[in-house]
Chains A and B, each alone.
Chain A
């Protein structure tokens, strides 16, 4: 079970980190557009499509990576007060009730949706450049599958926690600056939930 958790964590992190670099492409791509449009008065035809495709791919694929690091926002003001074992018991039920049905719907419906788009090699209507968007629509299926795998790993985490009474540790990864600072300088540990950032 631990091996599967490790596998899912690294799979999500690999895809997440690879797609994270979209932000750099997006920054420079749209930055270039601003330059040619407002300085040279010669706008590109592709920059708008580029911007939403990079953004959409980034956050959709990032969903599983965020889940692996417990980064999705939860209303946890009661949840935090419970013992880990109670947390895991409630959570495992909710995964089957609220997680898998929605994600399966995303995969199946997303599959049909993008298959239709592949069939006639759909292009974007936003610009005259005929930028293809069928591959972008398939991102939905990819994101769904990654989330499904990661969701199974989260269920495994719950099972381990119910058995041992402790949440298995998350792998080392980049952390928010406030967490780094609190760990380095803090003399007392305060439990700050992972997801209350920004």
Chain B
């Protein structure tokens, strides 16, 4: 067997082992070292069994993950997210938004979506948003006689915005894999993120206008009576602390702080201040946030330790070149390549989670981008939009499982799944819009950072 064929065998063997359910980072590490031992085998240097250059490669790759200046932002933003999700900020926000939107059709659904989008700006974590909103907005919507599938679609889709809207952990991970500047990616994701939230809202409004029985209008007694002045005061008081945080994070990104960890530490400090403002920062909660931060950071970053070793052995054996030549030989047009890549990522999102897809599978496409003249930043935002679906498509639809976990027993998982497809189509619509008008993603980074 020639070396490139061995590389392909290595990749296939790895994909097969994923299905056995062993922690992926260790599989990658062992396969990288194992196949690397073969690849770098040099009989003239073999005094002991450890005289193989794969070991140098392995520690060097591990050390580059340890001293990577993009990934430093991962624990900081996770810490911020864990602190903020424990700060009880959604209740008041949702209530206020509902009161202000009460005259709109499907007011509660609209309020829930706005709450999700704003909350997403303060945390990049999905599970907590879905469960918090599932406990708060979902029963409220059911009580207001909203159709259960419709209501659950709103919560699941809205709750996932956090991985797209900055500061999202997913985009940091993409930045570390693709070497696109993380602050540029964040600047690029702001408009598509809010555009997607807007599309969700348009869908909700449209459906409610066409079919008012989905989301009945509340009666006067149900909402209560508020004067305009009261509403404005409520909006100001419930928005103000969150606005400080959002401004500190987005501001840090847009005014271009030098390194990602600087932007992230401003965000983490902002999160702590916000929690103090809401009188929600107890010793217990701080400890919880600190310990969860290390566990989740270790989960993400150990994947890098494995995959960087794995992929350098893979390309040393010539696997990367073989795949490039194969894809280029297919003679695809850029649009066909883009659709094919996104389709593969979408299908991978059914059984797998975003972290595995971005760290292991997206790097296979990245070297092909220059050939098709596709901006890796643009590709990254498309991937981030696309991977919203990985939380919503069965069998691993985590958003649906979280919602099921906190909803009343008469709500069936099937009902929740039935609410999701319209929002999936909004995600596809957003991707099509992005393709037709690339400026949606590229305009802001150009304005802020130049070409």
Q: Which residues of A contact B (CB under 8 A)?
A: 16-17, 19-21, 23-24, 26-31, 33-34, 37-38, 48, 51-52, 55-56, 58-63, 65-67, 69, 71-80, 87, 90-91, 94, 97-99, 101-103, 105-106, 108-110, 112-113, 136-137, 139-140, 173-174, 176-178, 181-182, 185-190, 192, 195-198
Q: Which residues of chain A have C-beta atoms less than 8 A from B352's C-beta? A: 75, 77
Q: How many residues of B contact A (CB 8 A)?
A: 94
Can you list, as one digit per residue, whether each of B256-298 has a CB less than 8 Å from chain A (1) or not (0)?
0111011011101100100000000000000110111111111
A-B contact pairs, 20 of them (CB 8 A): A27-B76, A27-B265, A34-B266, A37-B262, A51-B259, A55-B74, A56-B65, A58-B294, A60-B298, A71-B298, A74-B21, A80-B21, A98-B22, A102-B26, A103-B26, A105-B29, A113-B59, A177-B85, A192-B402, A197-B125
Shortest beta-carbon distance from B262 to chain A in Å: 5
Residue of A nearest to B21 (CB): A79
Name 14 extra pairs, CB < 8 A, besides A26-B265, A72-B24: A23-B76, A27-B268, A28-B265, A34-B262, A34-B265, A66-B294, A66-B302, A73-B356, A103-B29, A109-B59, A110-B62, A139-B66, A187-B409, A198-B125
Q: Roughly how many angstroms separate A43 CA and B287 CA in the complex, as a whole number?
A: 30
Q: Which residues of chain A have C-beta atoms less than 8 A from B82's C-beta? A: 177
Q: Which residues of B contact A (CB under 8 A)?
A: 17-27, 29-34, 50, 55-56, 58-59, 62-63, 65-69, 71-72, 74-76, 78-79, 82, 85-86, 124-128, 130-132, 135, 163, 169-170, 257-259, 261-262, 264-266, 268-269, 272, 287-288, 290-303, 306, 351-353, 355-356, 395-396, 398, 401-402, 404-406, 408-409
Q: Which residues of chain B have C-beta atoms less than 8 A from A27's C-beta? A: 76, 79, 265, 268-269, 272
Residue of B nearest to A19 (CB): B294
Q: Which residues of chain A have C-beta atoms less than 8 A from B62's C-beta? A: 106, 110, 140
Q: Roughly how many angstroms separate A52 CA and B356 CA in the complex, as a whole number?
A: 23
Q: Roughly how many angstroms separate A63 CA and B25 CA in the complex, as a whole number?
A: 10
Q: A90-B20, A109-B59 are in contact. Are A198 and B296 (CB under 8 A)?
A: yes
- A195's contact among B18, B63, B299, by CB below 8 Å, is which? B299
